[in-house]
């Protein structure tokens, strides 16, 4: 198999960080606890790092796939027993808006659920402003097909001839589901992310929501806080896009891919993929890079 290539040679875009500090406040879906997320500028090559301001010594947790732990329905990170939870919407906003270096300071483990999308985080980034830094961004160039999963769900990366990330996501709940089948194709740019993905919300089936509540989870989450599908469609809510569900799954994928710690150039095709498979593909791509060039991205 050919190795993937890492480029940091001045032929790609410059790194970026925030121009000022900005914060977002809200309540976590799972815990019901309030949190304040403060986005702070960070220096060249710092990457994205979460800071637990509520704990002694303010421990740092890098947004790295090596720090990911497996939990249902979300992406959590941990270092030395210190955890940040449901980070995918924050990471999607930063990655989608090309903010490469940032401290994300929090006062509780779980990120606010807000409306189930990345919209408030993107608005905060816009408010803070983004500035270019004097160093180029590392780019992972996919040079061979890498695929993880099985016939039921999979995601793969393929080479393309552009220094960009193209994607195609196929969501398939079957014809008998109120969600059904949806497909989204696009190229990741800040403009595309902000316009087409950022406002797409978390969704769940009514039976799944009822089960979670029976387990004592998501007690403060109502029908206006995300999209809950009953037999006839969204309950007490309306879709922002006809294909909002596949847009949100793509948003999640962008957030999970941010755990690479670098940009990825290639074509990604996903079929019913979720957080676990997204992260596994990132691991496989980074493994190929480390064999050839050593560690440049997070791993």
Domain ranges of the chain: 14-136, 139-288
The reply to whether 172 sits in an annotated binding site is: no
For residue 43, the number of C-alpha atoms closer than 13 Å in the C-beta half-sphere is 0
* Tens-binned pLDDT, residue by residue, of the chain (299 aa): 444 555 544 468 999 999 999 999 999 888 889 999 999 999 999 999 999 999 999 999 999 999 999 998 899 999 999 999 999 999 999 999 999 999 999 999 999 999 999 999 999 999 999 999 999 999 999 989 999 999 999 999 999 988 899 999 999 998 889 999 999 999 999 999 999 999 999 998 887 776 666 656 566 666 667 788 888 888 888 999 999 999 999 999 999 999 999 999 999 999 999 999 999 999 999 987 653 433 334 43
Burial 254-273 (b: 16+ CB within 10 A, else e): bbbbbbbbbbbbbbbbbbbb
What pLDDT is attached to residue 220?
A: 67
What pLDDT is attached to residue 8?
A: 47
CA 18, CA 125: separation in Å to the nearest integer? Answer: 7
CATH among 3.40.5.90, 3.30.230.20, 3.40.30.10, 3.20.20.70 for 14-136? 3.30.230.20
CA 143, CA 3: separation in Å to the nearest integer? Answer: 7
What pLDDT is attached to residue 12?
A: 80
CATH among 1.10.1060.10, 2.60.40.10, 3.30.1700.10, 2.30.30.180 for 139-288? 3.30.1700.10
The reply to whether 248 sits in an annotated binding site is: yes
Burial label for 198, CB within 10 Å (0-12, 13-18, 19+), is buried
What pLDDT is attached to residue 175?
A: 84
What pLDDT is attached to residue 293?
A: 36
Whether 275 is a known active-site residue: answer: yes
Q: Which of 275, 277, 289, 298 is catalytic?
A: 275
What pLDDT is attached to residue 212?
A: 66
């Amino acid at each position: 198999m050919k190795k993937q290539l890492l480029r940091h040679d001045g032929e790609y875009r410059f790194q970026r960080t925030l121009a000022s500090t900005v914060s977002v406040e809200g309540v976590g879906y799972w815990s019901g606890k309030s949190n304040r997320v403060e986005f702070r500028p960070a220096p060249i090559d710092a990457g994205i790092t979460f800071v637990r301001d509520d704990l002694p010594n303010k421990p740092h947790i890098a947004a790295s796939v090596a720090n990911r732990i497996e939990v249902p329905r979300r992406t959590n990170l941990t270092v030395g027993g210190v955890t940040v939870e449901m980070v995918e919407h924050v990471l999607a906003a930063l990655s989608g808006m090309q903010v490469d270096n940032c401290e994300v300071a929090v006062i509780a483990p779980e990120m606010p659920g807000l409306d189930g999308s990345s919209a408030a985080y993107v608005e905060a980034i816009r408010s803070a402003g983004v500035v270019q830094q004097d160093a180029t961004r590392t780019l992972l160039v996919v040079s061979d097909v890498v695929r993880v999963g099985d016939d039921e769900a999979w995601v793969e990366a393929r080479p393309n001839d552009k220094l960009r990330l193209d994607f195609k996501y196929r969501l398939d709940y079957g014809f008998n589901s109120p969600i059904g089948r949806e497909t989204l194709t696009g190229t990741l740019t800040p403009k595309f992310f902000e316009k087409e993905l950022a406002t797409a919300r978390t969704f769940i089936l009514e039976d799944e929501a009822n089960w979670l509540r029976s387990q004592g989870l998501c007690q403060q989450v109502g029908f206006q806080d995300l999209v809950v599908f009953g037999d006839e469609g969204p309950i007490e809510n309306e879709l922002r896009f006809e294909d909002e569900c596949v847009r949100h799954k793509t948003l999640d994928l962008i957030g999970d891919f941010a755990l690479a710690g670098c940009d990825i150039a290639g074509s990604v095709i996903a079929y019913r993929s979720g957080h676990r498979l997204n992260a596994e593909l990132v691991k496989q791509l980074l493994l190929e890079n480390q064999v050839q060039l050593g560690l440049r991205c997070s791993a």
